[in-house]
């Protein structure tokens, strides 16, 4: 069965190169547009932390391009790193309390990250012969299946090798910025 792709490969290749610059633009939009409040921080930051936990769990099971990851969160969804990124970003957007930031995030996700996911899946199909069978069993973004142990355990060495700690540093920086903006906004603590 040939997979269906939503985005033409030339477009996906083009936006793949834009992911990092888009990240910087999102950072600028976040810095400028965020208007955090106590309630938005109490709602958004735990959501963002959940996304980071998913990313960290995935990074501890991923041996990039050496073996197809099918354990940990990869047993339930094919793209837990992207899903974790979306959840973490959604939490930051909720904490930032900005409709404009939410719209910008949604556009970047739809126009940049979804094509990147498709490109990555094409790459995995090319290097892992068992990827097609895996893709038939495991959904792309929304978890499916019973929660059970699937063999390989989490590895802190893999987590560090995949440099997932950088996402944690980014999250802490975003928290610091939101805290600073909130305390300097004149809103009551």
* CA distance linking residue 116 with residue 153, whole number of Å: 27
pLDDT digit string, tens, across residues 85-127: 999 999 999 999 999 999 999 998 888 888 888 888 888 988 9
High-pLDDT (> 90) share of the chain, %: 32
Q: Please indicate whether residue 65 or residue 29 has the higher confidence score (pLDDT).
A: 29
Confidence band of 30 (pLDDT split at 50, 70, 90):
confident
Number of domains within the chain: 1
Residue 8 CA, chain-centre distance (Å), reads: 22
The residues, ordered by sequence, that sit 6+ positions from 58 with a Cβ below 8 Å of its Cβ are 69, 72, 73, 74, 80, 81, 84
pLDDT at 27 > cutoff 50: yes
**Quick one: average pLDDT of 33-59?**
94
pLDDT, position 101: 92
Find, among 141, 35, 2, the residue nearest to 80 by Cα.
Answer: 141
Q: What is the pTM of this model?
A: 0.84
Residue 46 forms part of a structural domain = yes
pLDDT, position 189: 45
Cα dihedral sign, 129-52-101-97: positive
State the DSSP code for 2: P
Contact 59, 162 (CB under 8 A): yes
pLDDT at 81 > cutoff 50: yes
Note down the domain range covering 66.
9-183
Contact 36, 97 (CB under 8 A): yes
Residue 1 forms part of a structural domain = no
Residue 189 forms part of a structural domain = no
Residue-averaged pLDDT of the chain: 85
Residue 3 forms part of a structural domain = no
Phi-psi region of 16 (alpha: psi -120 to 50; beta: other; left: phi over 0): alpha
Token couple for 87 = 């959840």
Indicate which CATH number applies to the domain containing 32. Answer: 1.20.120
Find, among 168, 174, 169, 167, the residue nearest to 41 by Cα.
Answer: 174
């Amino acid at each position: 069965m040939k997979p269906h792709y939503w985005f033409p490969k030339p477009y996906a290749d083009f936006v793949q190169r834009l992911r990092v610059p888009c990240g910087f633009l999102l950072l600028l939009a976040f810095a400028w547009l965020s208007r955090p409040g106590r309630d938005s921080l109490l709602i958004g930051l735990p959501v963002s932390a959940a996304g980071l936990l998913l990313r960290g769990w995935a990074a501890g099971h991923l041996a990039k391009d050496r073996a197809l990851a099918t354990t940990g969160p990869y047993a339930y969804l094919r793209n837990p790193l992207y899903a974790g990124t979306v959840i973490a970003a959604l939490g930051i957007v909720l904490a930032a309390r900005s409709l404009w930031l939410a719209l910008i995030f949604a556009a970047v996700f739809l126009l940049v990250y979804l094509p990147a996911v498709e490109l990555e899946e094409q790459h995995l199909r090319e290097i892992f012969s068992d990827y097609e069978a895996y893709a038939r069993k495991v959904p792309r973004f929304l978890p499916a299946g019973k929660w059970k142990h699937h063999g390989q355990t989490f590895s802190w060495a893999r987590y560090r090798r995949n440099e997932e700690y950088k996402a944690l540093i980014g999250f802490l920086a975003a928290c610091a910025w939101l805290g600073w903006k909130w305390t300097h906004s004149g809103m009551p603590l």
